[in-house]
């Protein structure tokens, strides 16, 4: 395979980051925003960083950072630098870097590209209302742009409340490039004097992210497309400082399964009733495995033409940033189920058994590892999620089964006729030295022949008698694991039940 050329990677080692705001639960969008920069870093021998952007105190959600870290860990997206692992460019939590942003905001004032603004929220609101009444786009009216810088500094130092705004040029235009979308030229007159430093002394995203991307040596900014409209402002900030610009990639948006619009919180909650979720921690609880989730997510925005089943190392080997696509991706839970099932079957038996064990144990079953290793290959074909192991396999670990009497009666037969078949099966099976597919299947097929019934009728009675349920893994393999003694006891129990019915 050709090694994909990574734009910018020839200049210096790649450094990418995932920069989430801890403002809510970790959803598949956040997982993908972490995965692509991780893959880019790993596929180029670069470095991947976790940076927590927690400067918006109004939106801060306690516990959200921990959920992000656990989500990344569960998915296997390891970062080289971050708040809990440290690194040479820390701190990696923006709330611990506030002095840095203040310094850079004032530096921009000194450079003539920013200005302190003392306008009160009330005044700004009044201006906004007037502009809207005049059908103008609401924006800052420039009242403080012309303040004498020394005077402004004195007022700020004296404790007067202020913000620092970017001094957007009134004329000219700026060209910005997105790797997936090409170059866009924006007239500066369309841009606002955006706030860089808020009155609480904390930076806005615009200042904080651009400063950190520079100080942390980020070469490729991969982020959500909701930031595309801010890119001209970001380019202005970067150029005003004279910094080198990273390459920008804005990812596609996620649409709800119907393909129409974004998924609302309510729709996300509805999906959960269906056993699906857009939140990473739910996916884990619903029995999805990280391999399945990652495979599902990685393809929502990456145009892979060949075989699309991949584990993380395979993704790293094949990742090509040039093949990311800007087209929106509709969330398709059927695909998640598909990939999850495929990856469950790709796991080595020992590994899958280890992952299934907690589900059996949590259901109160006593599980011997040796039995689990025999059961796992029998049920894995049917698993979409790990918790499916219970409906398919819990009966293996129960001492006794309790079939529903009516399910023991085969289709188109009476209870007495079904009991008759069960007695014949019991006689055949008790005569065998042991029950295996090789010993049991031929005489049972002969019984089917002799009885003039269908295999479905005869094996159906046996299945319900031995497993207690109408759906099970392959019957004779299942019997082998259950063992002759229990199989016979369960058949006797079934015969009794059927006789009572008749
Ligand atoms: N904190 C921003 C967000 O969560 C990060 C965007 C970026 O990656 O720069 O949307």
CATH number for the domain harbouring residue 146:
3.90.800.10
The response to whether residue 223 sits with its C-beta less than 6 Å from ligand 1 reads: yes
Burial of residue 390, with CB atoms counted within 10 A of its CB: 0-12 exposed, 13-18 middle, 19 or more buried: middle
Asked if residue 130 is part of any domain, the answer here is: yes
For residue 59, report the distance from its CA to the centre of ligand 1, in Å: 13
Residue 448 CA to residue 421 CA, distance in Å, equals 9
Catalytically annotated residue among 161, 170, 262, 265 = 265
Q: How many domains does the chain have?
A: 2
User: In this structure, is residue 131 part of a structural domain?
Assistant: yes
Residue range 302-318, pLDDT digits in tens: 988 666 999 999 999 99
The pLDDT value given to residue 325: 93
For ligand 1, is residue 37 a contact (CB within 6 Å)?
Answer: no
Query: Which of 15, 17, 21, 97 has most ligand 1 atoms within 8 Å of its beta carbon, as the pocket-test mutant?
Result: 21
Are the beta carbons of 46 and 14 closer than 8 angstroms? yes
| Start-to-end C-alpha separation, the chain | 69
Q: How far is CA 176 from CA 188, 229, 257, 282, 406, in A?
A: 12, 11, 32, 38, 71
Query: Residue 166: helix, strand or coil by DSSP?
Result: strand
Cα(190) to ligand 1 centroid in Å equals: 23
Q: Which atom of ligand 1 is nearest to the CA of 17?
A: 8
Domain that holds residue 495: 399-500
Read off the CATH number of the domain in which 413 is found.
1.10.10.350
Cis peptide before 91 (omega within 30 of 0): yes
265 carries an active-site annotation: yes
Q: Is 53 in the pocket of ligand 1 (CB under 6 A)?
A: yes
Q: Residue 214: inside a domain, yes or no?
A: yes
The number of the ligand 1 atom at minimal distance from the alpha carbon of 226 is 10
Of 220, 251, 282, the position where a domain reaches its end is 251
Query: Which atom of ligand 1 is found nearest the CA of 30?
Result: 4
- Taking 90 as the threshold, does the pLDDT of residue 243 lie above it? yes
The whole-number average pLDDT for the span 423-445 is 97
- Mean pLDDT in residue range 122-127: 96
Question: According to the model, what pLDDT value does residue 270 have?
Answer: 85
Query: Is residue 5's pLDDT more than 80?
Result: no
């Amino acid at each position: 395979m050709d090694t994909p050329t990574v734009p910018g990677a020839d200049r210096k080692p790649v450094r990418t980051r995932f920069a989430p705001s801890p403002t809510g639960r970790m959803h598949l969008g956040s997982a993908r925003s972490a995965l692509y920069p991780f893959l880019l870093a790993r596929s180029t021998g670069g470095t991947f960083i976790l940076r927590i952007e927690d400067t918006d105190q109004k939106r801060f959600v306690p516990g959200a950072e921990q959920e992000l870290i656990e989500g990344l860990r569960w998915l296997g997206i390891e970062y080289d630098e971050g708040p809990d692992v440290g690194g040479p460019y820390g701190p990696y939590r923006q709330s611990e870097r506030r002095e840095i942003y203040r310094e850079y905001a004032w530096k921009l004032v000194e450079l003539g590209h920013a200005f302190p603004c003392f306008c009160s929220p009330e005044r700004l609101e009044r201006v906004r209302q007037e502009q809207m009444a005049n059908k103008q786009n609401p924006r800052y009216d420039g009242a403080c742009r012309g303040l004498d810088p020394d005077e402004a500094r004195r007022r700020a130092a004296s404790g007067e409340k202020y913000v620092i705004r970017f001094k957007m040029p009134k004329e000219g235009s700026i060209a910005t490039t997105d790797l997936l979308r090409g170059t866009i030229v924006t007239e500066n007159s369309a841009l606002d004097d955006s706030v860089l430093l808020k009155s609480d002394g904390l930076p806005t995203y615009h200042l904080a992210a651009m400063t950190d991307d520079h100080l942390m040596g980020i070469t490729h900014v991969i982020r959500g497309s909701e930031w595309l409209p801010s890119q001209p402002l970001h380019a202005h900030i970067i150029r005003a400082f004279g910094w080198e610009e990273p390459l920008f990639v804005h990812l596609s948006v996620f649409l709800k399964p119907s393909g129409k619009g974004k998924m609302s919180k309510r729709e996300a909650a509805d999906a959960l009733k269906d056993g699906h979720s857009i939140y990473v921690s739910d996916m884990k609880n619903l029995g999805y495995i990280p391999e399945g989730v990652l495979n599902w997510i990685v393809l929502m925005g990456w145009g892979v033409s060949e075989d699309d089943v991949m584990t993380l190392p395979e993704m790293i080997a094949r990742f090509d940033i040039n093949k990311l696509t800007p087209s929106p991706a509709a969330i398709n839970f059927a695909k998640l189920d598909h990939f999850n099932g495929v990856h469950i079957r790709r796991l080595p038996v020992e590994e899958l058994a280890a992952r299934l064990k907690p589900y059996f144990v949590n259901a109160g079953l006593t599980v011997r590892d040796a039995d689990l290793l025999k059961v796992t290959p029998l049920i894995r074909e049917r698993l979409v999620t790990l918790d499916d192991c219970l409906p398919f396999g819990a009966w293996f670990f129960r001492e006794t089964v309790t079939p529903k009497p009516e399910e023991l009666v085969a289709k188109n037969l009476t209870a007495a006729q079904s009991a008759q078949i069960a007695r014949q099966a019991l006689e055949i099976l008790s005569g065998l030295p042991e029950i295996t597919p090789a010993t049991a299947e031929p005489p049972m097929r002969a019984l089917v022949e002799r009885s003039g019934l269908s295999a479905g009728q005869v094996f159906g009675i046996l299945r319900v008698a031995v497993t207690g349920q109408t759906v099970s893994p392959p019957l004779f393999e299942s019997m082998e694991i259950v063992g002759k003694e229990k199989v016979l006891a369960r058949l006797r129990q079934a015969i009794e039940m059927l006789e009572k019915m008749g």
